[in-house]
A and B are shown apart, each in its own frame.
Chain A
């Protein structure tokens, strides 16, 4: 807790409500969500489907509009933060344009934001290096594996050097071996860039392995049931998952999920 107070606040939500209007009446996607995320934190949102974790991430990105409460990003409204290029967003699917090369895809946000041409090329080379895809710039998406495509989409989100990286189940569609490798690489990338990362997942090991802070959510209405500050050290080799601390944190996450009656079938 103390650690969080020391850091500058990047994302702050107070009593946040968000309801969708549907044909069957309003659906409460988020209810009374209060959370503070400090600079450089790696925050995971975990919970079953319908718990509002993705909705919360989308609200931070100004892709959804809250119906109540307060939400600020870098001290601004989410809308202003988006225009100030505060965050890069990584979706579940890589969503690369099939008609653009990998370099062309990474360049897309830079073109839209109007970076000078030479600067575009420099940044593309730099972020492709960062995600270990140097030399693949001229390939087309279909020539790459699913894991490489998702790395390219992370490079695309990093290209304009936003402070915040929002990731919505980015590795959900990948197999476990690839996912483990990408988790490891993501941690390295996070350590090197010092970005604040918001990460939605439904995998307990993934959440515990990656995060400095784990936010456990439960559905109907979507709300936070537990916030766990991870006791794990910054340096995390893959076999840390067999350590006692790891298992304890994982256990607490599971308890939190159960307390939210989240696994009722």
Chain B
């Protein structure tokens, strides 16, 4: 409970800064309008106007909150105007891509730890893959896959997987290598096989690393799915909301979609965190 006051203080400070930013950035439009109508406005009038514009440069927090509320609770979840509908479109691609990426990441890490050739050859490519801007490669993936008749969920999932396998590879290689020389020597004194060393030592030792890299991967997967929705002509999904929002200058719509994406990412990270707590507790590892 002692934490409540500092947390609320920080939130209040952010909201206050946001409001100040809204007033400052939206006031230009208000002043231009007034100048065109040959009016002079008092400070209070300016502030009031910046809080309630239809297309503000920076929507005020209460506008975004209202947009978010309308999007989530204001319509049937099947409606194309529902943020729940769009979030689900994005989330389903994210989850599929995340599963592919995490699985691939773990497999690659197993190979890298056990095979020197893979250690030397795979890691540079994995790193190189992440230096390519995802915005550049996403349209190519969509187009190439569309040309062979694969559209919809799967191409987006591929982009998600492309972004999310990397933190898992890096984290799991570190995790599988976390047992120290003494623990490996101990297993050598038992003449343990490589498979036994993996299942009895490396795998359980990697668990804390596993969940940490999954959290990073989940956020990356969501970014991948959203980016994957941008070049498709924006039909559905949070990416589509962002894109059409920017087409029509609907900044409230953009910000609502951004917050929805943040909520979805936070939910995924939260679920992984809960799984981590339960798993490590059952394994007897003190947090």
- Given the known inter-chain contacts A112-B196, A142-B286, please indicate yes or no for A91 contacting B187, CB distance below 8 A: no
Contact with B along A50-74 (1 / 0, CB 8 A): 0000000010011100000000000
- B32 interface residue, CB < 8 Å from A? no
Which of B186, B188, B283, B285 contacts A95 (CB under 8 A)? B186
In the complex, how many angstroms separate the beta carbon of B59 from the nearest chain A beta carbon? 49
The answer to whether A113 touches B204 (Cβ under 8 A) is no
Q: Which of B169-192 contact A (CB under 8 A)?
A: 182-183, 185-192
In the complex, how many angstroms separate the beta carbon of A92 from the nearest chain B beta carbon? 8
Which of B187, B189, B192, B285 contacts A99 (CB under 8 A)? B285
How many angstroms from the CA of A61 to the CA of B204 in the assembled complex?
A: 26
How many angstroms from the CA of A192 to the CA of B192 in the assembled complex?
A: 29
The answer to whether A112 touches B285 (Cβ under 8 A) is no
- B62 interface residue, CB < 8 Å from A? no
- A4 interface residue, CB < 8 Å from B? no
How many angstroms from the CA of A89 to the CA of B190 in the assembled complex?
A: 9
- B133 interface residue, CB < 8 Å from A? no
How many angstroms from the CA of A61 to the CA of B186 in the assembled complex?
A: 10
The answer to whether B286 touches A98 (Cβ under 8 A) is yes
How many angstroms from the CA of A186 to the CA of B190 in the assembled complex?
A: 22
- The total of chain B residues at the interface (CB under 8 A) is 20
The answer to whether A91 touches B185 (Cβ under 8 A) is yes
Q: Which of A74-97 contact B (CB under 8 A)?
A: 82-83, 85, 87-89, 91-93, 95, 97
Interface of B is mostly: helix
Which of A88, A91, A97, A142 contacts B201 (CB under 8 A)? A97
Residues of B within 8 Å of A100, CB to CB, are 284
In the complex, how many angstroms separate the beta carbon of B17 from the nearest chain A beta carbon? 44
- Given the known inter-chain contacts A97-B201, A112-B192, please indicate yes or no for A91 contacting B186, CB distance below 8 A: yes
How many angstroms from the CA of A85 to the CA of B189 in the assembled complex?
A: 8
In the complex, how many angstroms separate the beta carbon of B160 from the nearest chain A beta carbon? 31
How many angstroms from the CA of A109 to the CA of B201 in the assembled complex?
A: 12
How many angstroms from the CA of A253 to the CA of B247 in the assembled complex?
A: 87
How many angstroms from the CA of A95 to the CA of B183 in the assembled complex?
A: 7
How many angstroms from the CA of A83 to the CA of B221 in the assembled complex?
A: 47
The answer to whether B186 touches A89 (Cβ under 8 A) is yes
- A227 interface residue, CB < 8 Å from B? no
In the complex, how many angstroms separate the beta carbon of A94 from the nearest chain B beta carbon? 10
- A190 interface residue, CB < 8 Å from B? no
How many angstroms from the CA of A115 to the CA of B88 in the assembled complex?
A: 51
- B54 interface residue, CB < 8 Å from A? no
Q: Can you add 15 more A-B contacts, CB < 8 Å, to A61-B189, A140-B284?
A: A63-B189, A89-B185, A89-B186, A91-B185, A95-B182, A97-B201, A98-B285, A99-B204, A99-B283, A108-B190, A111-B200, A112-B187, A112-B200, A140-B286, A142-B286
* Interface, chain A (partner B; CB < 8 A): 58, 61-63, 82-83, 85, 87-89, 91-93, 95, 97-101, 108-109, 111-113, 140, 142
